Amino acid sequence: IKVPELQLLWDVETRWDSVYFMINHLREMHPAVDFFLSSSDQPDVVKCKINTMEWFVLKDFEEILGVPHVVQQTMSSESLPKLGSTIPNFELFMTAWERLAKKTPRL
């Protein structure tokens, strides 16, 4: 099984985007995670197997959380974030979510 060299991550309450990265890494490692959960002989692990619908839901959450992640990265990339960039970044945030809503109405 070929997957990127990533580590599964935990949710960190003090970092809102940790959920985005946690889902992103889990989805990138989907084949390896499925293989491990399917081949394990420990019942506690096997019952954690993620079904097809749950993978689709995780993909949706990754898309939803990807919008604020991009905006946050944009603001973080500035060496000295300024109040003047807040409104354009907020507009970027809202526009991206509106586009996502049109592209994927089920969300």
6 domain-assigned: no
70 domain-assigned: yes
Q: Which domain holds residue 91?
A: 18-103
At a CB cut-off of 8 Å and minimum separation 6, what does 69 contact? 17, 20
33 domain-assigned: yes
Instruction: Tell me how far apart the alpha carbons of residues 89 and 79 are, in angstroms, rounded to a whole number.
Output: 15
- In the chain, the amino acid numbered 69 is H
CA dihedral 13, 17, 22, 25 (to 10 degrees): -160
5 domain-assigned: no
If one counts the domains in the chain, the total is: 1
Residue 11: the pLDDT is 79
11 domain-assigned: no
Residue 80: the pLDDT is 67
What is the mean pLDDT of each successive set of 10 residues along the chain, which is 107 residues long?
78 82 92 84 81 94 91 76 79 91 86
Residue 58: the pLDDT is 95
9 domain-assigned: no
2 domain-assigned: no
78 domain-assigned: yes
